[in-house]
Amino acid sequence: MSIWFTEKQTKHFGITAEIKRTLHTEQTDFQKLDMVETAEFGNMLILDGMVMTTQKDEFVYHEMVAHVPLFTHPNPKNVLVVGGGDGGVIREVLKHPSVEKATLVEIDGKVIEYSKKYLPEIAGKLEDPRVDVQVDDGFMHIAKSEAVYDVIMVDSTEPVGPAVNLFTKGFYEGIAKALKEDGVFVAQTDNPWFHSHLITNVFKDVKEVFPITRLYTANIPTYPSGLWTFTIGSKQYDPLEVEEDRFHEIATKYYTKELHKAAFVLPRFVSDLIK
């Protein structure tokens, strides 16, 4: 007998992965949490039935959400990650020597707890002395922060369940206030094949708040359509105008300084979404 987990990524389409065993399953205060060992992608974190991260392909998302804004900012010292309880973005943030402090605000402490247990190579850096882990509501944390952060990354789930507030214009306004005068912000903004309206709407909202707004993509096999988008809002620095000498050497498996710029070159049907 073989056991397969199927995620319906749309009403009519999905992915299916063979499960060697279930490591943990729990209804937390915020969502259904499943940690399973898959045969193809290693350990996999699933929230409300949606794949969040896997050992095999996690590097793409974590590198691309972290390094693009961090290399856009010339001297990021104080960084905030909203969500991201698996710790993968924090791990990448700490690769930048300018970073003095990285704050993680994750609403669901159980995500942190079971990521540490079953995804240690992703969550391991949450113990670093530069990291401040807070189990708290990211929306509220943003609302009470003012001119504090150089870079803010929103590593949220889909805009259903606990993350629904993180896809509103009010939230982006709060982020702008929480950032310093030259701050940079990035959010994951789903895929253009099944959620094109979301990309259009978020881009429009972010553009009304930030003078520089850009969209970039990365390939993530376990995410719907395999093509993921990220929206950047920036007060001063353009991610497309990072000078060559700004890129320092960094250990990555996906991100490169050439890809930093190429990732913003969009397929026509994607660029049409943000015209």
Q: Which is nearer to its own copies, 10 or 22 (CB)?
A: 10
Give the shortest CB-185-to-its own copies separation in angstroms.
24
Residue 241 counted as an annotated binding residue: no
Residue 106 counted as an annotated binding residue: yes
Residue 100 counted as an annotated binding residue: no
Q: Which is nearer to its own copies, 45 or 175 (CB)?
A: 45
Closest CA to 124 of 67, 70, 79, 86: 86
For its own copies, the binding residues (CB under 8 A) are 6, 10-18, 38-41, 56-57, 60, 193, 217, 219-221, 225-227, 252-256, 258-259, 261-262, 265-269, 271
Cα 218–chain centre separation: 12
132 is catalytic: no
Residue 158 counted as an annotated binding residue: yes
Pairing state of beta strands 131-135 and 179-188?
Answer: unpaired
Residue type, position 32, single letter: K
Select which of 108, 155, 190, 205 is catalytic.
Answer: 155
Closest CA to 46 of 64, 59, 29, 34: 34
Tokens for 167, please give them. 């896809």
Give the sign of the dihedral formed by CA 155, CA 157, CA 161, CA 166: positive
Residue recorded with tokens 């959400």: 65
Tokens for 219, please give them. 């390939």
Give the shortest CB-60-to-its own copies separation in angstroms.
7
Q: Which is nearer to its own copies, 171 or 255 (CB)?
A: 255
- Alpha-carbon distance 81 to 91, whole Å? 11
Q: Which is nearer to its own copies, 41 or 171 (CB)?
A: 41
- Alpha-carbon distance 175 to 152, whole Å? 8
Give the shortest CB-216-to-its own copies separation in angstroms.
11
Residue 57 counted as an annotated binding residue: no
Q: Which residues are annotated as a binding site for spermidine?
A: 62, 86, 155-158
Catalytic residue list: 155
Q: Which residues are annotated as a binding site?
A: 31, 62, 86, 106, 137-138, 155-158, 162
In the annotated binding site for S-methyl-5'-thioadenosine, the residues are 31, 106, 137-138, 162
